[in-house]
Amino acid sequence: VTVTENLVLLTSASIIYESQARFTILSAQLIRLEWSSTKEFVDEKTWLVQSRQIQSIPPSFIVTRNDTHLRIDTSFVTLEYLRNATTTFSQHNIRITIRVNVVKEETVVWNAIPGEEYDGNLFGTLRTLNGSRDSKLELDCRNQPRDDLHCTYGVISRRGYVLIDDTHRPQFDDFRWPWIINKQYSPPDPSHCQIVSIEERRNCGLTNNNINQYECELRGCCFIYPSSCFYSSQSQQDLNLFGHGHVYSQALFEFTRIAGSIPLPPRYIFGIFFSRYWAYAEYE
């Protein structure tokens, strides 16, 4: 086990390398997928991920290789990856089958098809409601026009899996009091953008495309007018696939294991609660 100063834990036995890809089996249902043209991967804490150790005992899995493909099997997930792939994750080189219901042998497949992972999502939240006067707020982030609300999808889905994109999220340094590393990424080679067809364009770490060219290129992604920000064929990717089927409680539990416990401030700091309506008791 490798322990870094900022408490991100990695079990080397759970990491599989294949050419420019790295796969980390965090649990039988949670897999981290990384791709880097330079084979430089992120081991530090990020704004999202505080730890990469979910359980004290490494999960069980089987790795097999043939002339063309790498295959990783856990009790719930099967990952297949094209070994000679020279481009970032796409429907042409990766396929993951999730066993949604082991008893009924129900499965669902993630093929890296753009936007497919949002179908069936049970939604997350908005960071703020400032300036909102709508009686019904749009929680499907693809259809939410306001980028200032910072719409975020949830980690549970009727589809049976959720994909969380951690690519180029802010990282923390290794000091005793961790601080954000101010990283900037070079704009991609235009030729690496041009070969990505419209159907293959995956949003660059965004759930919608409310972003300008400057911010898009700071992420190292392609920008095509008026507002399409997407991964190039050589873009680095850092994805976490939650393949928990419909066992939503387990998905939420494992999310808190990597993202950290949800802080609950003590009730006394809020002072006296006031309501203009009826008096209510604590149990209500």
* Domain architecture of the chain: domains with CATH: 2-261 (2.60.40)
pLDDT of residue 283: 54
Instruction: Please state, in angstroms and as integers, the Cα–Cα distance from residue 125 to each residue in 29, 83, 140, 143, 153, following that order.
Output: 24, 38, 9, 14, 7
pLDDT of residue 250: 95
Nearest Cα residue to 210 out of 196, 226, 198: 226
pLDDT of residue 2: 39
Instruction: Please state, in angstroms and as integers, the Cα–Cα distance from residue 173 to each residue in 10, 43, 46, 179, following that order.
Output: 17, 11, 9, 6
Residue 56 · residue 67 · CB < 8 Å: no
Q: Which residue has the tokens 């992120």?
A: 42
pLDDT of residue 20: 96
pLDDT of residue 5: 43
Which residues of the chain are modeled with pLDDT < 70? 1-11, 134-135, 207-209, 226-227, 272-284
Proportion of the chain above pLDDT 90, given as a percent: 46
pLDDT of residue 281: 57
Nearest Cα residue to 190 out of 218, 223, 225, 228: 223
pLDDT of residue 157: 95
Condensed to tens digits (0 to 9), the pLDDT of residues 118-153 reads 999 999 888 777 777 766 788 888 888 887 788 889
